[in-house]
Amino acid sequence: MIDIHHHLLFATDDGPKDIGSSVAQAEVAVAEGITHIACTPHANDMWEFNPEKNREKLEAIRERIGDSVTLGLGCDFHLSYENIEDALKHPTKFTINEGKYLLVEFAEFMIPQSIGDTFYEFTVRGIRPIITHPERNPILQKDHRRMAEWMRSGCLVQITASSLGGRFGRRAQGLAWELLEKNWVHFVATDAHNLEGRRPSMRPAYEGIARKFGEGTAERLFVENPRAAFENRPLGDQPEPEGVYVYEDDAGRRPGLMSKLFGK
C-alpha cells in the first residue's frame, strides 16, 4: 500500500518529536504493509514549511531505515492566503514529489465561497488539488454537496483510513463510507502523526473496503491511485462519481469527460 498523507518528519510539526520516533513510526508502517510514504508536514501559521530542511530530515530517516520503505516529500497544505499566493508562484513547492498533486486541507470553521476559484487557478498552474479528509471537516459533515463543484473542476478526494473504523467519531465514519458508496473517493491515506492515537494503520481499512466493494476498489484506492500521485502520473480510469456531472448524451454519460479529467 502507498500512503500519500503521513506526518513522518521529526521536529517539523505535530508529528514525531525526534528521529527515533520517526524511525519507529516508519517501522510500524512497513509492518502494516506500506511500501511508500509521502512525508507531508503541515504548512500553516504554526509551523514553517521549509523544503530544504524537510529533505535533510527525510535523508536522515532514510539513512536509518534503508530501503525498507520508499520515502517522498509533500505537504499538508492549509488554504491560507499566503500559502495560496506562494503555491501559485511556485507550483511544485508544496506538491507530492514536486509533481502536480497537492494535498489541501480546509479550516474547520470556514470554507470561503471563492475556494472554487482558487482551485481553478491551481489547475491553470498545473496543480491538481487533493481534498484531504473531508469526512472529518465539521462544515462538510453538515453538507458535503459543495464537493461536487470542486470535483467538477478536477479536484480529487482523500479520506483517512482510520475514519472508516470510527477513530474520528460516528459522523466522520458515516460520511467516509457514504463518499465511498458515491465513488467520491480517490485515495485512502493514514494521516499518521505518532504511534499513540494517530498510528500509520491502513490494513483494516483496506480489508473493510475489499469486503464491501471488492478487491479491485481497494487496490485502486490504496495502491494504484496513490502510486500515480507519488510518481506524478495520470490516474487510470475511475468509476463515475454519483451526482457530480451533468450528462449530455442519451446513454447517460458525457463523452470523454472522465478521460479528460484524469489526464488520459
CA–CA dist 67, 18 (Å, integer):
20
If we measure between CA atoms, which residue out of 8, 90, 69 comes closest to residue 41?
A: 8
Q: Is the pLDDT of residue 264 over 80?
A: no
Number of domains into which the chain is organized: 1
If we measure between CA atoms, which residue out of 209, 202, 161, 207 comes closest to residue 181?
A: 209
Of the listed ranges 10-14, 98-102, 112-116, 214-218, the least confidently predicted one is 112-116
CA–CA dist 208, 26 (Å, integer):
23
Query: How many Cα neighbours within 13 Å face the side chain of 64?
Result: 17
pTM of the complete model: 0.92
pLDDT digits (tens, 9 = 90+) for 217-239: 999 999 999 999 999 999 999 99
Residue range 193-216: mean pLDDT, rounded: 96
Q: Is the pLDDT of residue 128 over 60?
A: yes
Q: Is the pLDDT of residue 189 over 60?
A: yes
Within 132-243, where are the H helices? Answer: 138-142, 146-152, 170-181, 203-213, 215-219, 225-230
Q: What per-residue confidence (pLDDT) applies to 247? A: 53
Residue range 38-47: mean pLDDT, rounded: 93
CA–CA dist 24, 200 (Å, integer):
11
Q: Which domain holds residue 49?
A: 2-261
Residue range 165-175: mean pLDDT, rounded: 97
Confidence of residue 259 (pLDDT cuts 50, 70, 90): very low
Cell of 13: 510539526
Q: What per-residue confidence (pLDDT) applies to 245? A: 79
Confidence of residue 48 (pLDDT cuts 50, 70, 90): confident
CATH of the domain at 179: 3.20.20.140
Cell of 120: 481553478
Q: Is the dihedral of CA 227, 229, 233, 237 positive or negative?
A: positive
Residue range 90-102: mean pLDDT, rounded: 98
Average pLDDT over the chain reads 92
Q: Is the pLDDT of residue 116 over 60?
A: yes
Q: Is the pLDDT of residue 257 over 90?
A: no
Q: What per-residue confidence (pLDDT) applies to 202? A: 97
